[in-house]
Every structure is written in C-alpha cells, then in structure tokens.
C-alpha cells in the first residue's frame, strides 16, 4: 500500500517537471528565433501541450483507478492491521501477564536460589568438616589396621608357640602316662614283690601218706607277706614273675624204716629227699631250692606213698619261701 502511494506521488512530480521544462523550452526558442517564429512555435507548443495533457489526463485517470484500488486495499489492509494490532495487543497483554508471572517466578527462584546457595554453602562447610573428620578417621583406621596386623602377627606367633606347646604338652602327657603306667606297674610289682612266708605243721603227731602221695599242708602260719601261701591248700602261688628261694624241714622217728619228702612245681616233680635209720631216734630232712617262676606257678611239698612225718608242740617241721627279685 505504501509503495502504491509513493508511485503516485512520483508520477505527479514527473508530470509537473515535464510541463515546466516544455514551457521553458518554448519560451527560449521563441526568444531566440524571434518574433517571426513565435506564432508557429506557439501553435506547435500548444499542440504538444495538448497531447501531453491528454496523456497526463489518461495517466491521471489510470492513477485514480489505481488510487481507488490502492485505497480499497489500504482500507482492507487497515482493517487487517487493526485486527492484527488488536490481536497483538491481546497477545502483548497476555505476554505482559506471563512476563509478570515470569518475573514473579524469577523473583521467587532468585530467593529460592539464594536459600539454596546458603544451604549449599552450609553443605560445603559441612562436607569440608566431614572430609576432615573422614581424614582423621582414615588415619585412625590406618593406625588400627596397623595395630590389628601386629596383633594378628602376634596371634599367629602365639598360635605357633601354642601349637608347639600343645605338641610338647601332648608328648609330656604321653610320657607322663607311660611313666604313670610304669610307676603303677612298678608299684604293683613292688607291692607284689613283697613276698615271703613261713609256715609249720600243726600238733598232729604222725602224718601218713598211705598208698598215694599226700599233699603236705603247713597250716600254722608264721609269716605270710603278700598272701602268696595258702594255709588251706598248702600251695604257694607266685604273684609276680621272678626268682624265688624255698626251704623246708621235716622230721620222723625212724626205727628200721625210711622217711621221704618231695617238692613239686605245677604238679611236676622237682626234687626229693630220703633217709633210712633203725636206731629209733629223730631224723631230719632239710633242703632248699631256687626257682624261676611265672605268675600263677604253684609250688608244694608231698609225702610219697607209705611214708610219714612227725610234729608236735615242739614244731619240728616248717616250709618257707621268699622272692629274691622280680623279672
């Protein structure tokens, strides 16, 4: 619209300038040619001006038509511009409202940001303090780890020493148990090795064997340390393995007869004594024997068949024995 208006103004300016230029030229030519040519020039000039005026009139008509069209377009454009301006005003009002809200929000955000910065500064301070505390804790932890490592090393050393001591203690216990067993055995052997006895015959007078061997029981106990001799059965039973010494004495009144005594071990004959006399006096048989016996071996004296021994309150007969040493 503005371009159309500018074009019309330019056309009017050009028409006016052309008319003035033509009139000036006509006047100049009239003056130069003289009065004779003035009439002809004036006629020619009028004709040219009339043509130009007609062209200008046509041009003006066109311009008026163009101006009308342009005015209509300008009116439409004004209406559109007005509508657009109203819309822009409304939009501007909305933008101002939004801007006000945004400014308020910015203010609130600024305040909130200031609060956050304050909290951030406090947090940073707290973080720095925590870092310092953490560094101190790390140093303390490192010291504790060092102490722990030293303690673990000490514990390992103690475990090794304890294991060695336990092994040594176990060996000592084993040796102690063996020693105790040996001591118990020795005590048992020592206790059992206290073996000694002496026994005599009761006031029985003559003791005959008859037709079979007679086990001679010395029922009168004089000494019986270790209780190895039985006054009931007449047997000595070895309590420990060892070497023993036995001795015996028996008596009879021989008047043209013989007297005999035998020693047995576990029912096996070991030795025997025999004496014959006819003077009617007392005759004694006495001997001793060293024997190696095992635990449970038995020793006893027997009268052979057809023989006898004699004893009374004078106690002529006895049977003794004792352990020389254990094996």
Are the CB atoms for 214 and 258 separated by under 8 Å? no
With vertex at residue 64, the alpha carbon angle to CA 58 and CA 70, rounded to the nearest 5 degrees, is 140
pLDDT at 120: 86
pLDDT at 191: 64
pLDDT at 315: 93
pLDDT at 12: 57
For 5-54, how does the pLDDT look when each residue is reduced to its tens digit (9 = 90+)?
565 556 556 555 554 544 555 354 545 556 666 666 676 777 788 888 88
pLDDT at 77: 81
For 212-235, how does the pLDDT look when each residue is reduced to its tens digit (9 = 90+)?
999 999 999 999 999 999 999 999
Residue 149's Cβ-side half-sphere holds a number of Cα atoms within 13 Å equal to: 5
For 61-85, how does the pLDDT look when each residue is reduced to its tens digit (9 = 90+)?
888 888 888 888 888 888 888 888 8
Are the CB atoms for 41 and 26 separated by under 8 Å? yes
């Amino acid at each position: 619209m503005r371009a159309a208006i500018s074009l019309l103004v330019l056309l009017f300016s050009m028409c006016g300038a052309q008319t003035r230029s033509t009139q000036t030229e006509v006047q100049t030519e009239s003056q130069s040619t003289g009065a004779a040519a003035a009439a002809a020039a004036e006629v020619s000039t009028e004709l040219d001006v009339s043509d130009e005026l007609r062209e200008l009139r046509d041009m003006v008509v066109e311009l008026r038509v163009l101006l009308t069209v342009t005015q209509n377009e300008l009116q439409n454009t004004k209406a559109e511009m007005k509508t657009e301006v109203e819309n822009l005003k409304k939009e501007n009002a909305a933008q101002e409202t939004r801007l006000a809200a945004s400014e308020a929000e910015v203010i609130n955000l600024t305040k909130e940001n200031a609060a956050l910065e304050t909290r951030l500064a406090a947090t940073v301070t707290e973080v720095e303090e925590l870092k310092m505390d953490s560094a101190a804790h790390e140093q303390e932890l490192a010291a504790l780890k060092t102490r722990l490592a030293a303690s673990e090393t000490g514990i390992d050393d103690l475990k090794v020493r304890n294991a060695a001591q336990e092994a040594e203690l176990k060996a000592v216990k084993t040796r102690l148990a063996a020693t105790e067993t040996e001591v118990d055995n020795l005590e048992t052997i020592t206790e059992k090795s206290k073996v000694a006895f002496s026994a005599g015959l009761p006031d029985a007078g003559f003791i005959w064997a008859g037709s079979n061997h007679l086990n001679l029981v010395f029922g009168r106990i004089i000494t019986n340390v270790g209780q190895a001799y039985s006054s009931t059965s007449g047997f000595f039973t070895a309590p420990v393995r060892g070497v023993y010494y036995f001795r015996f004495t028996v008596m009879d009144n021989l008047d043209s007869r013989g007297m005999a005594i035998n020693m047995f071990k576990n029912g096996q004959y070991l030795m025997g004594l025999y004496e014959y006399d006819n003077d009617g006096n007392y005759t004694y048989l006495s001997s001793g024997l060293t024997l190696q016996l095992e635990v449970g071996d038995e020793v006893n004296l027997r009268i052979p068949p057809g023989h006898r021994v004699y004893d009374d309150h004078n106690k002529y007969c006895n049977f003794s024995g004792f352990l020389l040493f254990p094996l």
